[in-house]
Amino acid sequence: MSVHNADIAALFQRMADLLDIEGANPFRVRAYRRAAATIGELPESVASLIERGEPLETLPAIGDDLAEKIVEIVRTGRLKALEEVEARTPSTLAALTAIPGLGPKRVHALHQELGIRTLADLEAAAKAGRLRDLPKFGAAIEAKILDDIAKHRTTEKRFSIALAEEFARDLTRYLSAAPGATRVVVAGSYRRRRETVGDLDLLVICDDGPALTDYFVRYDEIAEVVSKGPTRSTVILTSGIQVDLRVVPEESYGTALHYFTGSKAHSIAIRTILQDKGLKLNEYGVFKGKERVGGESEEDVFRAAGLGYIEPELREDRGEIEASKAGMLPKLITLADIRGDLHAHTDASDGRSSLEEMAEAARALGYDYLAVSDHSQHVIVANGLDPERLARQLDEIDRLNDRFDGFRLLKSCEVDILADGTLDLPDSILKRLDYTVCAVHFGFDFDSDRQTERILKAMDNRYFNILAHPTGRLIGQRPGYGLDLDRIIEGARVRGCFLEINAHPMRLDLDDIRCRQAKEAGVRLAISTDAHSTVGLGAMRYGVDQARRGWIEAGDVLNTRPWKELKALFDR
């Protein structure tokens, strides 16, 4: 039995939820939450850290006590302290706090006064009108809870960044037309470019807050106004996405933007630094006593904290503050650094655009090169290419390349990694390619060891260059196949192979944490769209965003290089 980081994080999270409901010391609760975040984000398995005898107390938010509890979980798969809490406070109560308006205090009361343990209990009690007489409850809250339980069942939790962009674009246009609105910015996890977005956080600069929030709630896609005041309002759109609006005056633009961008952990860390310097930070400015000492720009916030500017994508309290203090922040890659796309399909396999159309679209993007990497023969449903068809495609690429000036089609193939770790095409044809993109398309249910060995064995092939969509996950649809990414990253490093950041907004595979781990291990990455049409080439920016979240610089990425330089990296 192996205990994963996610298991430990989940146990700590549940511990925090239940202690919170019990009314425990809130800082103790927070300690468990922070520890859960630390463990959840750790790129290496805690079990292997313990095995190597590395002290867990050096991890942020892990002290003597929690280190001991982590060891207990890894050894036994259980946490006795949690079981003791669960004996008093059933763990099903934690789920109730997902209902808006129900926090730990009210859930505690529901359990103590009415013996409610589950969502079903809660619904029955609300229907029977038993909630309204509890202290801190009332008829209005009771009705709202019933309403939310019904909605809770049907609404989706998070939206892909690409979908969020559509809502953000329309809302921004609407709010920009509001009288007196001088600036409209989408902040929050959207601005940090997370792969999914739970809600949209909109910041509007306007001197007349009440008029602006009045205008906001008249937006025609609003299903429900959750709250509304002179400076802030929350609504739910008909699509189910929640939108939080905040209005501040111009002189508070920087501090409000920083506050509303988050992340929460980053904001807390910055405020703590400022507090140590005798300063106070809120949405309206940086203050020394009553005196305002900054607030117009985000730079004001960082300067006051003695830091250089930190890009939104890095604001997760994962070391960016320390790096900024030390002047060691990365110079993040930008879309302008990208010189070509290393993974794209044509209508020869399952793409929808022709070779020529794809080439023209890539040239229109200003690229130096575009790879043609159709599927190999094993992927029959995608009309994968056998050696003969691939050979004909390579001849066709030669003919087209003769016509191009300052642009080149690269000869590649998305070669299937077969169940035994061999590649789907013989070396005789692979050697004609400029490089390969190799991928797993079946056997997702292999256990982690077998899957890892399968891929490592494929990497042993001298024609293996880039591992495409390394975990196979589809965001919100299916988790990645089980594999030991620590070993895959190390295996790629020693063999001179590379990993892909698949830029498709439903994949974004590798994720931010693993990007950074690969970088630190010295494994370079390809940012590739896996485009199946000319339009698909436009997804590159999502991949760049994910890379930026992973602290990636232009030099860490293959396709920021001219072809000549790249070619040398592909020769093994």
The residues that touch DNA, with contacts defined as CB under 7 A, are 25, 27-28, 30-32, 34-35, 57, 60-67, 81, 97, 99-107, 135-141, 144, 188, 199, 201, 213, 227-234, 242, 244, 264, 267-268, 271-272, 275-276, 280-283
**366 three-state secondary structure:** coil
Q: C-beta of 196: minimal distance to DNA in Å?
A: 15
| Residue 246, token pair as written in the block | 């905040």
Q: C-beta of 381: minimal distance to DNA in Å?
A: 42
* CA torsion through residues 334, 335, 338, 344, sign: positive
Alpha carbons 490 and 106: distance in angstroms, whole number? 49
Considering beta carbons, is residue 56 or 539 the nearer one to DNA?
Answer: 56
Considering beta carbons, is residue 264 or 462 the nearer one to DNA?
Answer: 264
Say which residue the tokens 């056998």 belong to: 386
DSSP state of 212: H
Q: C-beta of 99: minimal distance to DNA in Å?
A: 7
Alpha carbons 366 and 208: distance in angstroms, whole number? 44
Considering beta carbons, is residue 158 or 228 the nearer one to DNA?
Answer: 228
Alpha carbons 124 and 31: distance in angstroms, whole number? 34
DSSP track, 523-555? --EEEE--BSSTGGGGGHHHHHHHHHHTT-BGG
Considering beta carbons, is residue 240 or 562 the nearer one to DNA?
Answer: 240
Considering beta carbons, is residue 34 or 191 the nearer one to DNA?
Answer: 34
Report whether 372 contacts 346 (CB < 8 A): yes
| Residue 361, token pair as written in the block | 């679209």
* CA torsion through residues 184, 186, 188, 192, sign: negative
Long-range contacts, stretch 520-525, CB < 8 angstroms, 24+ apart: 521/489, 521/490, 521/493, 522/493, 523/489, 523/492, 523/493, 523/497, 523/498, 523/499, 524/498, 524/556, 524/557, 524/558, 524/569, 525/498, 525/499, 525/500, 525/501, 525/552, 525/556, 525/557, 525/558
Q: C-beta of 261: minimal distance to DNA in Å?
A: 10
Report whether 544 contacts 334 (CB < 8 A): yes
Considering beta carbons, is residue 58 or 428 the nearer one to DNA?
Answer: 58
Reported in sequence order, the residue ranges of 32-137 that DSSP labels E, i.e. its strands, are: none
Other CB atoms within 10 Å distance of the CB of residue 98: 11
Considering beta carbons, is residue 251 or 453 the nearer one to DNA?
Answer: 251
Considering beta carbons, is residue 213 or 451 the nearer one to DNA?
Answer: 213
CA dist list (Å): 227 to 101, 214, 236? 12, 12, 10
Q: C-beta of 97: minimal distance to DNA in Å?
A: 6
DSSP H or E segment with residue 282: strand 280-282
Q: C-beta of 359: minimal distance to DNA in Å?
A: 45
Considering beta carbons, is residue 17 or 484 the nearer one to DNA?
Answer: 17
| Residue 500, token pair as written in the block | 């892909």
Q: C-beta of 319: minimal distance to DNA in Å?
A: 13
Report whether 89 contacts 18 (CB < 8 A): yes
Considering beta carbons, is residue 203 or 466 the nearer one to DNA?
Answer: 203
Alpha carbons 544 and 193: distance in angstroms, whole number? 10
Q: How many angstroms from the chain centroid is the CA of residue 229?
A: 31
Q: C-beta of 242: minimal distance to DNA in Å?
A: 6
Considering beta carbons, is residue 44 or 65 the nearer one to DNA?
Answer: 65
Q: C-beta of 241: minimal distance to DNA in Å?
A: 12
Q: C-beta of 501: minimal distance to DNA in Å?
A: 28
Q: C-beta of 257: minimal distance to DNA in Å?
A: 13
Alpha carbons 140 and 149: distance in angstroms, whole number? 14
Say which residue the tokens 């087209």 belong to: 400
Q: In terms of Cα–Cα distance, which of 309, 310, 296 is closest to 256?
A: 296
Report whether 106 contacts 91 (CB < 8 A): no
Q: C-beta of 366: minimal distance to DNA in Å?
A: 38
| Residue 526, token pair as written in the block | 């390809």
| Residue type at position 133 | D
Q: C-beta of 494: minimal distance to DNA in Å?
A: 34
Considering beta carbons, is residue 277 or 478 the nearer one to DNA?
Answer: 277
Could you give phi then psi for residue 42, rounded to 5 degrees? Answer: -65, 125
Considering beta carbons, is residue 25 or 477 the nearer one to DNA?
Answer: 25
| Residue 411, token pair as written in the block | 């000869």
Alpha carbons 254 and 303: distance in angstroms, whole number? 12
| Residue type at position 555 | G
Considering beta carbons, is residue 260 or 464 the nearer one to DNA?
Answer: 260
**CB proximity list for 292: less than 8 A, separation 6 or greater:** 251, 284, 285, 286
Q: C-beta of 542: minimal distance to DNA in Å?
A: 23
